[in-house]
Amino acid sequence: MSTFYCENCRITFEDSQGLKKEYQDYIYGPCWKYIAYCPECKQESSEKREPKPGKAKSDLSMECGSGGCQGPACSRF
């Protein structure tokens, strides 16, 4: 069960399936996301995501630990 948000109706709704949709992001290139159709207006709606504070930071340190990072912050490894 995933939660989706319709910007048109400003409602959140749940959908058991969700559709995987591929799209082109102008920064990241090919991406995909889950969409569902609003039960009220039938518009395409994106999955609602809870903000995750500090996630980018932990991702960065994981990348350093894997040895893939050669930035100055990783010289101590």
Contacts with Zn ion, residue ranges (CB under 5 A)? 6, 8-9, 38, 40-41, 43
Using the minimum distance from each CB to Zn ion, give the nearer residue, 13 or 64.
Answer: 13
With CB atoms as reference, the residue minimizing the distance to Zn ion is: 38
Rounded to a whole number of angstroms, the minimum distance from the CB of residue 45 to Zn ion is: 7
Rounded to a whole number of angstroms, the minimum distance from the CB of residue 33 to Zn ion is: 17
Rounded to a whole number of angstroms, the minimum distance from the CB of residue 38 to Zn ion is: 3
Cα separation values, 25 from 33, 38, 46, 51, 66, Å: 11, 23, 15, 20, 27
CB burial class (10 A; 0-12, 13-18, 19+) of residue 45?
A: buried
Residue holding tokens 């999955």?
47
